[in-house]
Structures are given as C-alpha cells and as structure tokens.
Structure 1
Amino acid sequence: MNDVGNYQEKYGVHVVNAMENLLQAVHRTPLQQSTTLNEVTHKDVFLKMENLQRTGSFKIRGAYNKVSMLTDIEAARGIVAASAGNHAQGVALAASERGIKAKIFMPVHTPTSKIDATRSYGAEIVLEGESYNEAFKGAEREQQERGATFVHAFDDPDVMAGQGTVALEMMQQCPDLDTILVPVGGGGLLAGMALAVKTYFPHVNIIGVQASEASATWNRFKGTGPKVLHSCKSIADGISVKEAGKLTYPIIEQLVDDMVTVSEEEIATAIIFMLERHKTLVEGAGAASLAAILCKSNHLKSRRIGAVISGGNADIEKFSTYKKLSERAKTIRRIS
C-alpha cells in the first residue's frame, strides 16, 4: 500500500470489486446540474448528490465495502470505529445488516442528528474528545482492550475502494468531465477517487477542497503551515480532522492535481445556495466543493466540473450560524 504505483496498478480490480459489492447496498446517486450555478460561474457544473445516499452520506460506500469483507472470525469480535458522524452511520448500518455488534466513538460536539441516526441503526455510542482525533484514540484503546475489529474511517484500502466508486459513477454519468472537486478530511474519499480517476481517466483533474479552519492536508500538500493541527473547529465538522491519513496522504500527494481551501463564510454561502436554489439542505462538509466553485471559479480553468456533495446530515440547530456567516460573506464581497 505504501507503493502508490503498485497499488494503482491493482486498483482497477479493487474498485470494480467494490462497485459490484455495493450494487445492492447503495444508491446510484444523481449527477445534477443547476442553471443558476452555471450562469453564476460561467461553467458547466455537475453536482454528485451523495447527500441523497443511504445514511445521507457517501460514507456508507467505504464502510459497507469493508464490513461486508470481514471474515466470520473478525465479525464475531464485534466492530469498533471512530467518526465525526457520517462514517458512524455507515458502519452502524452495515454492521446491523450483517448482525455484528458495533461500538462507535464520536466527538462530544457531534450534531445530535448524527448521534441519534447512528444509534437508530443499533450501534453503541461513546462520546469522547473535542475532535475526530480524540475519538479515534478512544476507539483505538477499546480495540486494544477488547480485541474488536477496527473499521477505520479513511486509512483502509477497502474503505478507499468503496469511496472510489463515487468517481466511477460520475464518469459513467458524464464521461466528458474534465475536473472533479472533492471535499477532504482524512482523505479517504479524495484518495479513493484519485486512484479510480487516474487509473481509468488520467486526463481528468482531481482537486481536493479543505475547510481553512481544518487544513492539515492542504498545509502538507502546499508545504506550508503545520502538518498536525492543535485544534480544528469548522461548520464542516465532517472534514474537521487534525492530520492527513498515513495511507491516504501518499496517494493524495502523488495523484491529486491541486488543493484549495474555503472559509467558513464560503462554506455557509454554499449551504444557503443549495437550500435557496436547489431546495436541498447539505451539511458543511458536503458544501465544501461547491463553495470552491461558487467563490473561486475564476481560479478554475476547467469548463465541465464535477463536485461531490458528500453529505446532507446538517445540524439544523446551527442554521442561524450558517445564515450569519453567509451574510458576512456578502458584506466582505461588497467591501472588496
């Protein structure tokens, strides 16, 4: 896995197997256009609506692919995982359908909607730490003490293969895309999609998008700022991760064409845009790639752009915050 080139040669089999494995388990989500978005950006933009996926997020793809491949012995030990919310739901659902006990560690500030949804699938929830990284340490401790099977949110080849199926679907739905924007937390989605695209469609550009308040991967990719953040708190809680994955980052470094960051105001603007123009509520992480298109379109040279709307599990209680940040963005644009 550390040899990215060798893994890429084998990845066709991994992602195709994952595609077949997920046929009956996940939705083939729509690739939608918005006339308003195209007019505003002067580009052809295609939104991959993973917010309409089972559990409201792309995370079910990687989680289900991994859980379905566990041996009976691994399954009998039970599953432990750490998640900011969406991976938790994917793991919980996959475990439930296979009859496996799941214990999932989540940050204490995880939106109640994500906690309740995860619990509804039958998983045991433990709230620990301020961010994903602290929750991960709790899950790691549990795994060592109990011997449970760990299902990582991003640093796992089977999880990445499952996430990579998003890219294959997008290219099937619109073969002439020239650029795909992907939100980035730990990097499982970006790494998986980059491997899939560069294996089968090497001419397509892959751009990662991070929240500026949680930019560890961007920092490392650009060679500036800390590689490990002391804290990261963003309205894009699903991608608020303090450092890039050990397995995902080498793939990102080699195969991703560029990375950008988006501010809290820009993410909020994208959330409000989707609600007002698309009549769809998306979460902060899910709006990140759209934020880059809306607010940084002049820096994107491509004409036919795909953007992954990665999740729709928004925290309704924070809607007033989204609105205030969006209004602040308008004020900033007027002044500048």
Structure 2
Amino acid sequence: MKLPILFAAALLTGFCSANPLGNKNEKLIIDSDFFDSQFKIYSSQHDIINLMLPLNALNFDEDNDDDDYSNNHFSLFFTEVDIGADGEKDYKGLYVLRDRQAHKLLDNGRDSTSSNGDKKDVYFAASDGIYKYNPEKTAAEKYGNLNDNFISILQVNGTDETTLYVIDDKYEMYKITGEGTKKEKVNGVSKVQQFVLDFENNIYFYDQNKDVYVINEQGVTKFEGLKKDPKYIQLLKPAFLFLNYVPLILDDKVYLIYADGRTELSDFVIKNKPTGYALEGTLIQFYAYEKKIYEYNLLQIVISGMLEEVKSYFDDNVETIKEVATRSRGSLRSKPNQI
C-alpha cells in the first residue's frame, strides 16, 4: 500500500476533516516513505519553500472543463533557500518550474502569489518591492514603485483592481493597491510570521507567539483551543474545493481551521515535514522535501490503475475523484467576499 496514493486520495475525499478515513478509525501517518523517488520531478542544492501552483489561466483554461491533468505543462513557482540551525533563511532565488524545466526569475525573490481569475497574472515579493510575471518572456518585471523588503505576498480573488497583501521584513502586514503604488498598513495585527488566503478572501495568519488568527468582515479573530507554543507550525494554502477554511499543521497534527473561528482535528499525523506544500490543484499536488520537489497526480494514478490496491480502503471514493476531475473551476472565478 503506497502512502502517496493514500494521502492524495484522503486529501481529495476530505482532507483534514474530522475523520477523512471514513469508519476505519485509523491514523494516516506521513513519514519518509511518502517521498518515493518515482514522484520526484526536481532536485536542488538548496531547501525549497513557498511552492505555488496558479489556478488561473496560466495553468487552467476557463473555457476547458476537462483540464488535462495528465500532461507536464504546469507552471509551478518556488523559492530556494539555505535554512540555518536557528531557522533563518538565506534566500537563493525565486524560480518557475515550467514543463519541468527550472528558470530563475529573481535572485532576490521571496514569495509568489496569484488569484484564481481568467488572467495569467503572478506576483512576486522581493527584497526591493513587488514584481509581476511575464510568461511570454519567462521573466519577472517590476510592478509599481514600492521598494520595501517584502518576504510574503497574497493576491485577493475576484477584485476588479489588483489587490495584494504583503508582509515586510519587520513582519508588518500591508494592503497594496493602485497598481503597486499604494501601501496601507493593516491595523490590529503585528509580528505576522506567515499568512494564507482561502477562496472567500479570508486571511489566516500566526504571529511571533504562534497564536493563529483569521481576518474577515467581522474583524480579527483568534482561534482558541489550539496547542500552545508548538515547535512546528505551518499554514497551508487550501485545495480548490475548500472555500472558507484552510489546513494548519501544529507539530505532528493537522487541523482544519474555519473562517468563523471553528477548528477540527484530523486523523493525519505528519512525522516527516515537507519544506513546501502546494495543495491548490487538489488533483495534482506538489511537495518539497530534502531539496527535492515531488508531484502527485491523482487522476493519473486512478487512470493507470495504481489505485486498485487501495480502492477497497476508500470504498466509493474513486467515483468522487473522477467527478472532481471533470468539475469546472468556473465557480472559483465568481466574486467572493471582500475584506
């Protein structure tokens, strides 16, 4: 029984739900066996973080409801770093993996983001401001006139005007509008270490105290009942089926945290932690581990028959997988809530 197949199927059929494995009452343990060499697509001399798979027209054509998940034509963005013993990052460049060929875009790049619209826009945070991706030239071009040292970036979904959120090197959060010329500090938050956005434009973040919050129309809400002072904490960008909640890893446990402040503990145990996660595509997922990127193409696994060995374990979920594979992402491009 192959863990990668199990994990990918469990993600699809209810990732991080209270009991994603149905009535089995079993823990799904993710360890080094998950990172099988047959799924490796890229190797580096540095650690790999901030994986990002755009769900816009760069990878998925809105007019095509039968997206081809069996090809290698995805553009995947990531950052290479050397991580010190104290956790400090020495950035080594921001890249795009296009047709499985890596291209460095920015020596001083930090992070990347995109919305789920019908454009091909991708934006980058860098040590001297914000850049925008030019897919025709496979290059990054300066966006706006800001020159701040930005370490993280998010693009809001469904806005007529491009709206970005950034974290700077002082861990303050800002809202960016005016085509990259207007910067407005987000009040009520400070020392933001990491943030992610769900598909309803709720922002989830944690601070230097490792307290986790959500920002939405109701303001800033702290999640209660989570483990205090975990040694490992990571927010994950959600799969496209998740509208108003995101996964959160605390040490070895995976939670689902909702925009209304609720939390659920899943049956996943993650012993070997990836340095980067890209769940956005749902049926095609990417993970970075020990300086390598791994790709798990769930539809390809189903079609090839590899899932037969675990089909009985997941009962009727093969049909769910096939249904999701043909589902249009048009609903993602409808305008969500704005904050």
Tell me the TM-score range normalised by the shorter chain.
under 0.3
Structure with the larger helix share = 1
If the length of structure 2 is used for normalisation, what is the TM-score?
0.26
If the length of structure 1 is used for normalisation, what is the TM-score?
0.26
Structure with the larger strand share = 2
